[in-house]
């Protein structure tokens, strides 16, 4: 049965239950799709086809025995920052080239328990530091909608694989927008759960107080299905929170009637691409037509968010990446003494963006600068959190653009890191405040590039943002569109 790679989790599960196809056939079809397009897209770093087919066969046996899990037989791609036992975990860096993980991250373990098939490792900016996936040490992933453009980052491989129909769904990580921004650039759904909602055990840390694992999918209901499996406390992660996990798949069906949505004035500003602004405003009007009340709110400390974020994130990175020294694992470049060995290993192993952030983070933590930079940034973080608390006193959720622009050209911003950093202005705030947010398609530019909006909610209110997003998605068809690359591949495979 062909074209199974075009299915969503929801439609695929229905076919599997009905016996219209097998999990093995699904994986075989996806492997064929990868062979057809990944040479152009470059979403995957590694694929273990043999293991994926064996896991699919096991899923088929479980289904036959009546023991199918919540995601039984559904193939999921994994960002190369999450540990999967027996598979490489390079984090997009040469310093971990050849490293094989000895254990499963908790989210991977939960996927396995739900019966999912682990399809392969997808590309990313090195150690999740970047917004375009151009910082990967191994390849530049391309946007399936326009191969001359970036897919976003740092979870660019996760979003590109889903958009190019090389994966039914994928996992990414969001430190300052790294799930939501690539989802917006690639016309997918990207969910950043609240800090503490999903275990970070087995996620290679970039900034420990900001990182959160989240799904990239084709629909909001698929994101809800994945979150249902991933969410919940984990004794292996002291930052995970033992809070009740709602039935997201049911909650999202409640519609938008009676909800109040806020429009942050600071997120609709000069400098935003006019097509992005117009598409998000049209989406807001659609939400009103669906029964929501819309009001303007203010998040007055937003202008300070980028500075605070890049101080806090780099400070935490400088501490977290100290473990990559050539002593215990990963690449080692020998020297005459340990100090020379550390220096040479890191000089060869880390790329320029990682080095830049380590140096910056070490600087802001150093004696004489800690109070002036790091401590002040933490105070700004508190003010940003207070801004959101005030806004959510009057609103159930906020609606805003994901990024001021759509996907830009490969190489367009690599020479000016500050310009790339400024593109995170609408996403870093949710990470600083520990909130949840979901990005979803809300239109296309005249040139055919996806435009994304995000729905932000209070901490541990994922059901509210998913409810808004699902109601909007059901009333529109943006999520049903596919890149020309996919359509061409489907046609050529049918002719073949």
> Beta-carbon neighbour count of residue 94 at 10 Å?
16
Q: Is there a catalytic annotation at residue 154?
A: yes
Q: Are strands 189-192 and 436-444 parallel, antiparallel or unpaired?
A: antiparallel
In angstroms, what CA-CA distances link 62 with 68, 69, 114, 258, 415? 5, 8, 11, 42, 52
Q: Which of 154, 155, 173, 240 is catalytic?
A: 154
Sheet bearing 189-192, strands edge to edge: 44-46, 117-122, 75-79, 169-173, 213-217, 189-192, 436-444, 450-457, 397-401, 260-264, 293-297
Structure tokens given for 496: 């073949």
Q: Which of 22, 23, 79, 131 is catalytic?
A: 79
Q: Which of 491, 108, 152 is nearest to 160 (CA)?
A: 152
Counting DSSP H helices and E strands in the chain, the numbers are 17, 11
Q: Which of 55, 104, 98, 50 is nearest to 78 (CA)?
A: 104
Structure tokens given for 420: 């790339």
Q: How far apart, in whole angstroms, are the C-alpha atoms of residue 311 and residue 432?
A: 11
105-135 b/e (C-beta count within 10 Å ≥ 16 → b): bbbbbbbbebbbbbbbbbbbbbbbbbbbbbb
Whether the CB-CB separation of 68 and 59 falls below 8 Å is answered with yes
Non-local (6+) Cβ contacts of 421 within 8 A are 131, 306, 310
Q: Is there a catalytic annotation at residue 178?
A: yes
Under DSSP, the state recorded for 225 is H
Q: Which of 23, 101, 131, 178 is catalytic?
A: 178
CA atoms within 13 A on the CB side of 209: 14
Q: How far apart, in whole angstroms, are the C-alpha atoms of residue 232 and residue 239?
A: 11
Q: How far apart, in whole angstroms, are the C-alpha atoms of residue 288 and residue 298?
A: 19
SS3 467: helix
| Angle at alpha carbon of residue 106, lines to 44 and 439, rounded to 5° | 60
The strand pairing partners of 217, in sequence order, are 189
Q: How far apart, in whole angstroms, are the C-alpha atoms of residue 248 and residue 27?
A: 27
Greatest Cα pair distance, the chain, in angstroms, is 70
Catalytic annotation, residues: 79, 154, 178
């Amino acid at each position: 049965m062909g074209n199974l790679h075009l299915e969503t989790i929801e439609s695929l599960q229905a076919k599997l239950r009905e016996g219209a196809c097998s999990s093995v056939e699904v994986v075989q079809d996806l492997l064929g799709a990868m062979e057809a397009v990944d040479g152009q897209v470059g979403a995957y770093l590694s694929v273990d086809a043999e293991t994926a087919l064996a896991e699919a066969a096991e899923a088929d046996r479980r289904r036959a025995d009546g023991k199918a899990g919540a995601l039984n037989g559904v193939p999921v791609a994994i960002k190369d920052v999450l540990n999967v036992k027996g598979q490489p975990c390079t984090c997009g860096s040469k310093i971990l080239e050849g490293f094989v993980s000895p254990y499963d991250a908790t989210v991977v373990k939960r996927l396995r328990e739900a019966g999912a098939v682990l399809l392969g490792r997808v590309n990313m900016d090195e150690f999740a530091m970047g917004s375009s996936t151009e910082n990967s040490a191994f390849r530049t992933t391309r946007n399936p909608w326009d191969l001359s453009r970036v897919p976003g980052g740092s979870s660019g491989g996760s979003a590109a694989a889903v958009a190019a129909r090389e994966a039914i769904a994928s996992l990414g990580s969001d430190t300052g927008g790294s799930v939501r921004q690539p989802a917006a650039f690639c016309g997918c759904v990207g969910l950043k759960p609240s800090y503490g909602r999903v275990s970070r055990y087995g996620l290679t840390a970039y900034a420990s107080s900001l990182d959160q694992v989240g799904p990239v999918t084709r629909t909001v209901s698929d994101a809800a299905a994945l979150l249902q499996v991933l969410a919940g406390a984990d004794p292996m992660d002291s930052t995970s929170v033992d809070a009740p996990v709602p039935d997201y798949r049911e909650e999202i069906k409640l519609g938008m009637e009676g909800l109040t949505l806020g429009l942050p004035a600071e997120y609709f500003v000069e400098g935003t691409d006019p097509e992005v602004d117009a598409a998000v405003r049209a989406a807001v009007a659609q939400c009103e037509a669906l029964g929501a009340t819309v009001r303007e709110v203010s998040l007055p400390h937003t202008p300070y968010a980028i500075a605070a974020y890049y101080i806090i994130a780099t400070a935490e990175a400088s501490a977290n990446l100290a473990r990559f020294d050539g002593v215990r694992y990963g690449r080692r470049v020998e020297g005459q003494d340990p100090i020379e060995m550390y220096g040479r290993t890191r000089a060869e192993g880390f790329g320029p963006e990682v080095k830049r952030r380590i140096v910056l983070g070490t600087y802001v933590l150093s004696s004489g600068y800690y109070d002036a930079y790091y401590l002040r940034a933490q105070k700004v973080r508190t003010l940003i959190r207070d801004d959101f608390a005030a806004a959510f006193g009057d609103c159930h959720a906020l609606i805003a653009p994901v990024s001021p622009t759509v996907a830009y050209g490969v190489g367009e911003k690599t020479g000016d890191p500050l310009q790339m950093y400024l593109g995170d202005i609408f996403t870093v705030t949710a990470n600083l405040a520990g909130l949840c947010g979901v990005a979803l398609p809300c239109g296309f530019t005249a040139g055919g590039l996806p435009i994304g909006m995000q729905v932000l909610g209070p901490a541990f209110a994922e059901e509210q943002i998913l409810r808004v997003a699902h109601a909007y998605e059901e009333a529109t068809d943006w999520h049903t569109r596919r890149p020309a690359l996919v359509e061409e591949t489907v046609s050529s495979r049918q002719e073949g």
